[in-house]
Structure 1
């Protein structure tokens, strides 16, 4: 299988139990996660040699984050140690018409303050087939944005395919700042992933779609996909198309374009949602596996990615803990949920 490298921030997640509000909670459930870390876990679950690149503090909480990755087969050889803290985020899980809420406590984290000397990107990219990052990483600090650029340059020197999940986070930066950083980084990207908000706020491309009204017809995305490919030279442009009926009921599908053909996936009706955090990351992890496994069949790759993400919505925590075989079963049409004996 392939060597897949991802780079970003892993954080301590503190969740209010069940569907309790923060104000009701006397304790928090503890897990670890973060965009690119979640993708690395997915890649490892599918049998790839997954490596995660970050920096964590030397204390026990930093080690707990590393252990969480090791537990699921992610290689941690390139994780630097040092700095003052591990980023934290608090999650209040919504239900029905009440949305989930996230509160960040991540300023000054180890990876946000990391320097180029903490990483040998040429060694990291040697022998790799794929490098993945997201827009969250350059958003956390100017230093992290520079690390992203250096990693992308090394990936290109080593002939590595680069994917980016645009992942705009309004609590981390403005659209103006995002575009000033993200647009120049697109020159390194082969596979661009993002939903309608990401494409508009990170790159300035707005689809003809009423997302809030639940209207996500694929035709509304054709024009911006073609425009994005023309401007940035991507090999693939991909978007998830989420219909958010409530916090616990979503429609889910995706669209991919390779410069010649568009392919729209089958539609999943996901209800009840157990945990939607990491849903986009599970899609990215599934897409990476799909394009590595079926490089000439973008439709099959997309169906795997959409099925992987649909399943992630049933699993508590950030990580998608579904096997390749389980995802393939759903992608093949087995959505019965019958007990496996």
Structure 2
């Protein structure tokens, strides 16, 4: 806002100087002689509003803020016009505002609610395959195996399957919840490293001492079918605010898609869109490059100097530029020096 106000006030001072120098111009025909016509402070107000709107991509909010600051209804119309023009110009260069840019710089997975994403492909192309994932078997884990899993992997969550053969999904547990539950179990004297763990109702046995992880397991994770369009996947992430989606086929786990995968695809699309948008401009500017003078760099190289006519031996090296050099050791040889360094 300070930058916009400074630019606006500078422009207002220029207009005020023009009015004082040429009051009879048609541009100032509506100004009365004895009444101040040009107020640089109004230009500063409009400049601050337009800069704020173009930076944050906010429209109505900026107009309301400026009206509350000034309590002058007469300035609402010029502010609305400036905000509309500035946002339209800013959108021509990119849809993301200042806050979205900060989020992207920090690498946070963020999907804008105001932006439409048009992606190509299906969920099968974007997901991480089940063979590359670390899954938890509902009734075949011990406290030691779960501890090793946390130490050896860096995943933020783990799908819980009925068995490694069927890969039927029975739940999902976050890494933070699993680590907290394991820490509590290790602190208790009731469990040892070989104590079995329970992650599903059908795997619980009341006759055996087991570590019950069921309170931390999400028994109904959000899933999508394989072959789902990526645009529908992105819409699901944006509308539901989930961090992951399990890709299944008839209940069997095929893979997982995280929000970061979708954000990565969106950023790739944005880069491709920027290249395609700039390609007409670059193709138009390309013929103009032949009118630009080509630089002639003065590169230094090293050339062998030959000793005599009968026997060619390297006596030393001489720095050269584009010129014809005569070997002082053998006046019968003229060495033509060029950029290729051939010495012929």
**What's the TM-score, normalizing by structure 2?**
0.21
**What's the TM-score, normalizing by structure 1?**
0.21
Q: Return the structure number with greater relative CO, CA threshold 8 A, min gap 6.
A: 1
Rg (Cα) greater in structure = 2
Greater helix proportion: 2
